[in-house]
Structure 1
């Protein structure tokens, strides 16, 4: 039964497309005959006026589309900023917990953080930031097991770069370590351990 319904829907769709195409053709033919039958001077004026109206309509539609796109981006930005702030706050908590006299997050708190962040990014995150967060989780776990501190720092910074990029910041003049050194004093000591690819500028 469902197959029959789908076939009928496809047939009706083709019929409607055919009718619209035929109607458009007849309309264009009628307009062409109209311009052909009038005085050339008057026809040129009508053509110019029609072109002006068409350009105006297209401009308005394009402007509305751009406004709608910007409006959606602004609404998404409002939702994303608190998520990114929570992520950075958690990263800083892990980094400065001892110096601030605070306890490191427990395993349950870590699990809750990643679960909540994953949920929020699935809803509000762009495809690039979702991928960046997935890479961040995978690499961080692997590098932690290996004890690769330099790799972990690079992974954290890559994710911070992704967050900034998603918010519209440019990174053409920012290099590896420029964000890390804002809160890690001896970050330069880890750079020799980074591979050549990691030492390249962040685009």
Structure 2
């Protein structure tokens, strides 16, 4: 059944492509016939006018698209940063005083943060948050704080990347050393 649907989709897709190609060819041949009968003095002016129009339309369309994309990215970043700051504040509190949070408070924070990150986090941040949580839960890794801290650093780097930082000069351990020295 799936094989037949794939063949039908392929045939429909090919028919659409052939239709577009035929329409494009027909348009070009019609334009060629229309312009071939004009005096040669008019052709450069017409080509210039058409080219100017096409470039103007493309420039405006692309500009509006990019502007809308930048606005959406800015609004998303404004929503993400407070969520990410909550995690960083929570982690700093735990690093400063490991006994400042009860297990219930930590679980409540994790649940609340997970809800927020599902809405506002990028795919990469969600994946890294899941990796961090899964490694933190495993008994083998839970006994080795280096593994958990390395995953935390990966999460922090992913968060930085999500809010627009390049992270290109940050070597492994840099963020973690800042985090632990504070």
2:96 match: 96
- In the alignment of these two chains, the number of paired residues is 170
Structure 1 or 2: more helix by fraction? 2
How far apart are the structure 1 equivalents of 2:72 and 2:116?
17
| Offset at residue 27 of structure 1 (A) | 4.4
Query: Cα RMSD between the aligned structures?
Result: 2.8
How far apart are the structure 1 equivalents of 2:179 and 2:124?
25
Unaligned stretches of 5+ residues in structure 2: 1-15
Q: TM-score, normalised by structure 2?
A: 0.80
| Offset at residue 85 of structure 1 (A) | 0.3
Is the CA contact (8 Å cut-off) linking 2:83 and 2:116 kept in structure 1? yes
Deviations 1:166-190 (A, max 9, x none): 11112222112211222324xxxxx
How far apart are the structure 1 equivalents of 2:141 and 2:82?
30
Unaligned stretches of 5+ residues in structure 1: 1-15, 186-203
How far apart are the structure 2 equivalents of 1:107 and 1:65?
47
Structure 1 residue matching 2:41: 3-state secondary structure: helix
How far apart are the structure 2 equivalents of 1:145 and 1:176?
19
Higher RCO (C-alpha under 8 Å, 6+ residues apart): 2
2:55 match: 55
Q: TM-score, normalised by structure 1?
A: 0.72
1:72 aligns with 2:92: no
1:199 match: none
